[in-house]
A and B are shown apart, each in its own frame.
Chain A
């Protein structure tokens, strides 16, 4: 498991209040009950704040799984 996925696991455990969460790259929003469209927006706002990055509209709505989210965060941090 990459560092970014490990970091995301800690964030998501706290955000969704699921201490037993075992995050994988292939995991999707539908795999976590509380991850609905609104929770997704809150999560993206939290990640923007935490990493001091900014997601575009297309990035917010176009993500398919946790792996893509981790890669996107890496890309944003590296291009700063």
Chain B
């Protein structure tokens, strides 16, 4: 069975069947059963080995009982064992335990391969919130429909359990008044991006163009077109996917959190991560960055604040990169962002200590600085995304070509 993509006939048929049954059945319980069961064919389409079914089934079922137990009695030992177990399952799923760490990259697969990884993210959040006693009472049917829901299975957004459960258990589960047309508009917009704009961009960002003879100006132009074109492709691909998913959620009467808020307008990298893949950045902020920063800063003391900052950014962005796949490409992508964010934090720390309040206020208000900063941060992001686009050997050849032309 082939993987069911979001902008495909199979996904459309599955969505329509699920929507019809969802709105025909008045019982909340039956609606959640339908959502859970109809998500299984989509999940099954991504299964390539029997072992994956076993790992997934054990993870999902055990996840429920562990969270339930943590909710009843917050045991630090159980939390530690569960998170370690999850980590091992995650490494098994990513084939790291079998094929080794940091293998080859698999480019041009941005919005179709994340389903299993998202289950692990959801479970870490579930365990942490259950341990912190902030999780709503866990119910089996709500849990399974939340973790399996086909519309967020492929690549998120990451919906928190409390947000889903509140709607599933207390919401109307119907589209809000006047929301059907905006929902359809959003789905059509997403399909337009995925089916028309993305293939158009892909057609014009051909890496092989660099091997043909060309003068320096054309070569330079081609480099820019490739770098920004690939950034645009990733944005259109992922935001298009999210448009479809959010629109579909509106038709089900389930509010799915926004994942993109015009990230290309970000003034710096820190702001960029508040606008790009928002649910993932918030997840990493809450469950990776915050605990690392707090624990390192307690150990080192506030005098050595920079140690906790470096540790938190490096580990958070290493995780952000490696989540996409255990390859050196993805690690370098993450490290590029870690370096960028640390540079911003340190330079801002220095500026705020040395500069006057008047200067800082005018710096923040200046539209020219905002434009330059916006171009710089987008360029840094576009550069980092190059690691997604091709194997390192090919990127190395391109770098070599650039250096040869510069020194010639």
Contact = CB atoms under 8 A, between A and B. Distances in A.
Contacts of B294: 41, 44-45, 60
B345 interface: yes
Interface residues of B, number: 19
A27 interface: no
Contacts of B128: 57-58
Contacts of A1: none
A57 B352 CA distance: 28
A37 B302 contact: no
Q: Which of A37, A48, A57 has the most CB of B within 10 A?
A: A57
B129 interface: yes
A46 interface: yes
A34 B352 CA distance: 10
A42 B297 contact: yes
A38 B345 contact: yes
5 contacts: A41-B293, A45-B298, A45-B302, A57-B128, A58-B133
B210 to A, nearest CB: 40
A60 B294 CA distance: 10
Interface in A6-63: 34, 37-38, 41-42, 44-46, 48, 56-62
Contact of B290 (A46, A48, A61): A61
Contact of A56 (B132, B305, B345, B352): B132
Contacts of B290: 41, 57, 60-61
Interface of A: 34, 37-38, 41-42, 44-46, 48, 56-62
Nearest to B274: A37
B93 interface: no
Contacts of A38: 293, 309, 345
Nearest to A45: B297
Nearest to B298: A45
A41 B297 contact: yes
A57 B132 contact: yes
A42 B291 CA distance: 12
B129 A42 contact: no
Given A44-B294, A45-B297, A58 B132 contact: yes
A38 B287 CA distance: 14
Interface string B65-104: 0000000000000000000000000000000000000000
A59 to B, nearest CB: 8
Given A37-B285, A57-B132, 8 more contacts: A34-B352, A38-B293, A41-B297, A45-B302, A57-B291, A58-B133, A59-B132, A62-B134
B132 A42 contact: no
B286 interface: yes
Contacts of A60: 290, 294
Contacts of B287: 57
